[in-house]
Every structure is written in structure tokens, then in C-alpha cells.
Amino acid sequence: MSEPEGVSRRGVFVKLGLLFNGAVAVALAVPVVRYLLSPVLRAHGTADEAWVSLGPAMRFPAGQTRLATYQNPVARPSDGATAQLPCWVRHVEGEKFQVFAINCAHLGCPVRWFPQSSLFMCPCHGGVYYADGSRASGPPERGLFEYRWKVEKGELLIEAGELPTPGGRALASLAAGSSRCA
């Protein structure tokens, strides 16, 4: 059997075979990539954020800041204790609240409230915040993250579900709302 110079029948079959495998690989890659990116794609489709209850609003005395916990709205059975999340509730007065994320705006460590000096302090790198969540000192570049809140039928609700991070979308927009006074 004679073949033209440079092109053999078997050579063409190998290339066709590789092309075929490549096409199958691309077809398979689409669902694989979708699966890998599902945490991001889901965030664009159905919202991760949902209104969750912190319990009766009257549990938070006016003028005080208290720790509250809530159930993560996107909790799954394997989450264990991580499905319960804490936050700081400041009852300013009357129907006015502020709900702060537990996570320091620097690197996310849990901030602690000191009522005697009216300061939040972070144990990791020494970030300090005033009672209204605004930055007092230390490495954070901004005040504490705040949740949107509302009171319905005597229940204090917050919109939660996403880990507040310095570069996060949902909570970053709220930063503008926090006042600067101490």
C-alpha cells in the first residue's frame, strides 16, 4: 500500500481519534466546571442571604449590647455546631438597633464586647471598635460589619447567611451606613 509523502492513513486516524476524545473531554468538562463553581453560581441564582430571627426584641435591653446566636439560613445536616452563629446586638433605644457581625473587619476573628469601657476588642491583632461599631484603633481599615435588621411581631430579624469579609459584596455596602461618632 503506498501513501502520499507525509500523510498516512493511520496518522489521520490517530488525529481524528484525538479530536474525538478532545470533543468528549470538553463536553464532560462543562458539568465538571459547573460542579466546581457551584458555590459561586448558586450565589448568583438563589440568594444565600435570608431573614433569620434572633428571638424577641425585648430580650435586648435598651442601651446595652448583648451576644445573640442564630441558625445559618443555608445550614446543612453535616454542619454540626458551625450552623449556629453569633452576633452582637446593640439596642440603641426604642425601635433602633444595631447588629454587628462577630467577625473582626481585619481578618475575621471573633471580637469581644467590654461593656465597662464600651469597646469591642479583637484577640487576634488588637483591632478595637467603639460601641457603635466604628473603628477605634488597630489594623482594621473600617468599622464592624453590620447586618440589616428589622423588628416584626416583636421579633428581631437580621439578614444573614454570608461570611462577612473585607472584600465581601453584601456587607461592604452597609459600611457606608455606620456613623462615625464614638
Partner 1 sequence: MRLTTRVGAWLDARLQLGQPLKSTLEHRVPRNSASWFYVFGSGALTVFVHQVVTGILLALLYVPSAGEAWGVLQVLNHQVAAGWFIRALHGWGSNFMVAIVLVHMVQVLLFGAYKFPRELTWMVGVCLLLMTLGMAFTGQVLRFDQDAYWGLGIGASIASRVPILGPAIVNVLLGGPIIAGATLARFFALHVFVIPGLLFGLVGLHLLLVLKVGINEWPMPGRLVRKATYVKEYNELTHRDGVPFVPDAVWKDVVFSGCVLLAIAACAALLGPFGPSGAPDPTVIQTAPRPDFFFLWLYALLSFLPPASETPILLIGPAVGLLFLFALPFIAGEGEKSWRRRPIAVLSVLLVAVALGALTHLAQHTPWSPVMDAWSGDPIPAKYLAGRTAVERQGALVFQVKQCHNCHALEGQGGQRGPALDDVALRLTQDQLIRQVIQGGGNMPAYGKNLSPPETTALVSFLLTLHPAGQPRAHDASRAAVLDGHP
Q: Which residues pair with 149 in a beta bridge?
A: 158
Binding partner 1 (rule: CB under 8 A), the pick from 52, 55, 59, 74 is 74
Q: How far is the CB of 53 from partner 1 (least distance, A)?
A: 15
**Is residue 76 a contact residue for partner 1 (CB under 8 A)?**
yes
- Secondary structure element (H or E) that encloses residue 158, with its range: strand 155-160
Q: Are 129 and 144 in contact (CB under 8 A)?
A: yes
Beta strand extents in 21-148 (DSSP E only)? 50-56, 65-71, 84-93, 96-101, 112-114, 119-121, 128-130, 135-137, 146-147
In sign, the C-alpha dihedral spanning 21, 26, 31, 35 is positive
Site for partner 1 in 78-117 (CB under 8 A): 78-86, 102-103, 106-112, 114, 116-117
**Is residue 167 a contact residue for partner 1 (CB under 8 A)?**
yes
Q: How far is the CB of 49 from partner 1 (least distance, A)?
A: 8
| Residue whose grid cell is 461599631 | 133
d(CA 161, CA 85): 10
Q: Given the rule CB under 8 A, which of 17-25, 26-34, 69-77, 90-98 is the region that contacts partner 1? A: 69-77
Binding partner 1 (rule: CB under 8 A), the pick from 63, 137, 177, 179 is 137
Q: Given the rule CB under 8 A, which of 18-26, 38-46, 51-59, 92-100 is the region that contacts partner 1? A: 38-46
Question: What radius of gyration do the chain's Cα atoms show?
Answer: 26
For residue 34, give the C-alpha cell. 459547573
**Is residue 43 a contact residue for partner 1 (CB under 8 A)?**
yes
Q: How far is the CB of 39 from partner 1 (least distance, A)?
A: 4
d(CA 45, CA 134): 33
- Interface residues with partner 1 (CB under 8 A) are 36-37, 39-40, 42-43, 48, 67, 69, 72, 74-86, 102-103, 106-112, 114, 116-119, 121-126, 128, 130-131, 136-141, 161-163, 165-169, 182
